[in-house]
Chain A
Amino acid sequence: MLKILSLQDFSFPSSDNLITASFMYDEPVYCTKEELQQEIQSFATYLHDFPVINITPEMLATRETARTIGARDLFLPVQDSSFKKIANIWREKGLLEAIRAAAAESPIEITYQVHWLATRMTQILDVIERGTFWSKVLPISGFGSVADVISTRDWTTALIRCMAWHPHCIRLAIATRDDRIRIFSIGNIGTAVLRHSAQKSVCCLSWRPNAGRELAAACQNGVLIWTVELGAASNSLSYAYTLKYRNHAPVTSVSWNPQGDLLVSCSLTDMNMIIWDVAKESGIPLRRLGGGGLCFTHWSPCGSRLLATTCRKIFRVWDIGAGTSWKSERWTVPNGRVAAACFGPNLTLLFTSTEDPSMVYSLPLQEQIFDVKKVGTLDDNKVAIPLIDLSKVTFPINDEDEYSVGGRVTSMDWDPLGKYLAIIFQDSSLVAIFKTKIGATSRITKVEPLCFVKGFPGEVPNCIQFYQNCQEGTDSTILTIAWSNGFIQHFPIVDGAYKESNLNHSKNVGIMSNTFSITEDLQTSLYSSFSYIQ
């Protein structure tokens, strides 16, 4: 009989003013705000290279601080004649831009006739552009708005809008509300601050795999590709260029493929997802009918699948194939749209929809050619299996107050090794962490509750991501949580299995071993028997 894990199975800390500092050897460690620094010392071995980050509202740029010295200020301004300027623009950006530039010049400089002609032509161009650039007006807030689909809670007001760990090293990019991106590196060698005139409303960041310093940012008008110069002294040496495509704005998601040669971007207003050849600055649109604009895309860790979710019920899993063209597999959720999704090892996909009550489903995508029992039944491994019930539950703290957790999911992240799953919700101040185990055939063989992470009183988590470069065989996993007050918490989860015996393990409160289907039995028994021999 299939039993689905629910949030009720978690145990909850009783005291209100304690925060969760870490998870050590099978139990969460709580402490007060004052004790936190001291507590961090105790797990310093796991975090000694991690940058200490605390973004305060005072750090954000205001209009006055926005003007600091840039590369442009280091050189004397050159006074060119207007015609020379226009000719330069013609040469570099084409005739249309030149006409616009001419219209913007003062009429005395370029004679009244030319100016008149240029302004008229600009007006005509504007009209044509308005006709051809089909733009859909997005709601500013609520269902279907940019803030609604992004995996950051309260994106419009949050201090930290999104963050991204580098896939290979300790390097964290954080986009803040003032449209700056800050890069924090190993051992605090000084923060690089990236700013660009096109960098507005950053929705998503993605470091290029197999590269050191390249970062893609999804912005209001297109995708910015940064080459980051590390260290604080070189802020003006970092440079970026924009990738734009017609009707492809605002860009809500960017993701590099694990090989690091392709970049995929998508936009709420565009049914195409664009596959970019970044060096050539050219993109190929890929589209399938149905579903409207795209919300986000995710690559599987092996790079053979790409998930693309739409604003409606449909989501697609693209099979990259070997040398043949990409094929998409169409899936639907019963109601709403996909709220969050993540890939784990062995091509396991977890997703949850916006419908109520919400539920995490797992979808094994690996072809199971040796699954003997599959023969005869029609493709029954390609079924999304309900995994965790996320219905809202409340935990009373004292007589008046209670903590509620569950409901609509904002973001969900699985650590690269597939050991832990973290979820944040739209109306809960807790981060729920689950312990998971995946079989070799891309099925989840075990899910159990690990703990809730609670922040300082009144704080809510804005976004989460696991540290990406965890080596196999180490006992710690680090979850990075951006809290609403700008504090970045590196939450270490240290596996108890290394320290304590299995016997101890079994007395833990909420263990829930889920065996999902009868066909699973053969495999689980096979694999577990191997592990017993070891």
Chain B
Amino acid sequence: MDKTADIVKAKCKELLVKRMFLAVAASIIVHFILMSGVILVTNLKITHPVEWIQDTWNVITCLRMWTYFLVFSMVIFLQGIICSKDYINPISYASSRFVKFCHIFTMHNLLVGSLFILLGGILAWLHLSVEDSRFSSLIKNCETLQGYCLVEEHYFLLLEGFWIGFYFFTNFSYLDSRNLQFCIIPRSKLSQVKRGIQIMITNTLLDAVWPTIYFLGFYSAFGNYCRSFFTSPFSLSIEDIPLDKISRLLSLSLIFYAWLHAVLFVLIIQSMHLFFQAYLTEWIPFVIEKIELTEKSKISLADALGMEKFPILRQLGYLDLVTIAQKDKTRRSILFTLSQPGGHPYNWNNIIEKSLSLIKKFSEGLNSACSNQKEENPKLTNTVPISCAQTSDKLYNYHMRNLVSATPTIEQFENKLRHAINDAQTVIWAADAISTLATVSLNEDPYGIVQKDLPEIIEVLLNVKQSLDKLQKLNISIRKPMSDDKFLKQTLTALRSAVRRSLYRIVSHFKNYIDDLALSPLTVDHLQPFFTYRE
């Protein structure tokens, strides 16, 4: 048993690694195009257009550029490989902001951080050395003095590169940007990335402003130390006025380069995310029939649905399931067949069991988040009447303590919720898929294998609906309203409408047979608003 599980896991990993490799390769290519564009713009000579194109061509095709770019792509590649871990592993639960903060200091994250910093530095170095400008080298021969002099602009931009890496590492790792969003309709990878970059580009231009300003401020204050840190060990001299003088620091071209590097850095990181998203979320048609596993066989749908270790693969599994249910009649018919020999509906059983247990687990998660909150709430309200007027001091203290303690519990509740919601997309697909399969079974299921599970499907869906309703009520009753988390709100709305949709689907198809399903009277009661379309 263990062995088959291992094979499946290895296969999943192989599939994901292949996709991620392609994503990294694509993002390197895009960055090369991006860089050529930047060189084209910075070389701009309006009066000599032919020369301009020629110069750019020469820069792009020269060996130096390629050698430098090779170094750069190595770093991007490393970065991609290391970041990919974040995409395939389950997201860990952080109960509070402090825990979340502590999560930054893991070995893996520190490695990612140092790669970010390195990438920032290399980006600046690459652009500075390739582009034909005044500060293309760090050291030059002094004109007025003996020996070598420091080109401080180069040094400044290099330092700024490292700073950008650090700045965006802290920004991204705290904000959890590793969330893969599935597109609502299947689209080609190219159009996904194209649109993603279109949306991203205006934001990026603004995002890059702040770190540049911070660094300018920092350098005007501590530029002196930074400079001597580098010049003294190599006994370099300074020819020009030092850069930490405001008059020199506010040079337009310097600020432009600093800002440009920040923009490019964000573009690399974000486009890499886009590529990961486009490649990893691409639909895979899994095989439905579970066959004996050998080294060559493919991953079956049931395996994918049960893959808790790689959430992304499980999501792909449910995406395929909902595609089968709604759009693919021929593959659907395999689901409704019996095994040969034996005559057991293994295909269906495997799938329904996994889907239902996923939904059940999800509603349990929601319930536990709610119940925690409920326990806290009575404490706040019940004890108030007990305290009498004579103990007003105590009461006052008590309220003060509540004020202090109330916030963390709400935060905890929200974090718990947020963690539970990670599975939301999967649950939406599972609900949509099993309800659609149940409705099409009326016409397409020749052996009636879906029928036996129908009462359970209805009950499980009703349970999630009730948990979601409870959550909504709780949300209204909490003193401090739910924090302004758009993502959380929208996901809950999506979940609510998906679960309702699934129940409506079943009810509108089985309206006339509902008495034959042997549902408990309570369930039928709960279904009542669905019969009258008033839910």
Contact = CB atoms under 8 A, between A and B. Distances in A.
Given A260-B501, A284-B183, A323 B285 contact: yes
A281 B533 contact: no
Contacts of B505: 210
A155 to B, nearest CB: 29
Contacts of B497: 211, 214, 278-279
A169 interface: yes
Contact of B186 (A166, A169, A212, A325): A325
Nearest to B505: A210
Interface string A151-191: 00000000000000010110100000000000000000000
A322 interface: yes
A168 B500 contact: no
A323 B320 contact: yes
Contact of A322 (B188, B323, B490, B498): B323
A213 B534 contact: yes
A63 interface: no
Contacts, number: 89
Given A262-B185, A284-B187, A320 B327 contact: yes
B498 A261 contact: yes
A280 interface: yes
B274 to A, nearest CB: 15
Interface string A273-296: 001011111001110000000000
A286 B490 CA distance: 23
A211 B320 CA distance: 24
B285 A168 contact: no
B328 interface: yes
Contacts of A211: 497, 500-501, 504
Interface string A254-275: 0000011110000000000001
B501 A261 contact: yes
A262 B184 contact: yes
A70 interface: no
Question: Which of the listed residues A212, A230, A320 has the most CB atoms from chain B within 10 Å of its own CB?
Answer: A212
Contact of A213 (B494, B498, B501, B533): B533
B508 interface: yes
B534 A304 contact: no
Contacts of A168: 504, 508, 533
A281 B490 contact: yes
Contacts of A212: 500, 504, 529-530, 533-535
In this complex, the interface size class of chain B, counting residues with CB under 8 Å from chain A, is: 35 or more
B432 interface: yes
B310 interface: no
Question: Which of the listed residues A260, A321, A322 has the most CB atoms from chain B within 10 Å of its own CB?
Answer: A322
A326 interface: yes
Interface in A186-215: 210-214
Interface in B279-309: 283, 285
Interface in B487-531: 490-491, 493-494, 497-498, 500-502, 504-505, 508, 529-530
A322 B327 contact: yes
A171 B195 CA distance: 39
A278 B428 CA distance: 14
A286 B497 CA distance: 24
Contacts of A320: 327
Contacts of B490: 279-281
A212 B498 CA distance: 12
Given A210-B504, A323-B320, A324-B186, A280 B327 contact: no
A71 B195 CA distance: 40
Contacts of B484: 91
B409 interface: no
A452 to B, nearest CB: 34
B326 interface: yes
Contact of A325 (B184, B188, B323, B532): B188
Contacts of A324: 186, 283
A303 interface: yes
Interface string B308-340: 000000000001100100111000000000000
A8 B156 CA distance: 86
Nearest to A171: B533
Contacts of A304: 327
B323 to A, nearest CB: 5
Interface string B381-402: 0000000000000000000000
Interface of B: 183-188, 191, 195, 283, 285, 319-320, 323, 326-328, 432, 436, 484, 490-491, 493-494, 497-498, 500-502, 504-505, 508, 529-530, 532-535
Interface of A: 91, 166, 168-169, 171, 210-214, 230, 259-262, 275, 277-281, 284-286, 303-304, 320-326
8 contacts: A213-B534, A261-B501, A277-B494, A278-B497, A284-B184, A286-B185, A303-B326, A326-B187
Given A259-B436, A280-B490, A322-B285, 7 more contacts: A166-B533, A210-B504, A211-B501, A212-B529, A212-B533, A284-B183, A284-B195
Q: 3 closest A-B pairs (Cβ-Cβ)? A: A279-B494, A323-B283, A212-B533
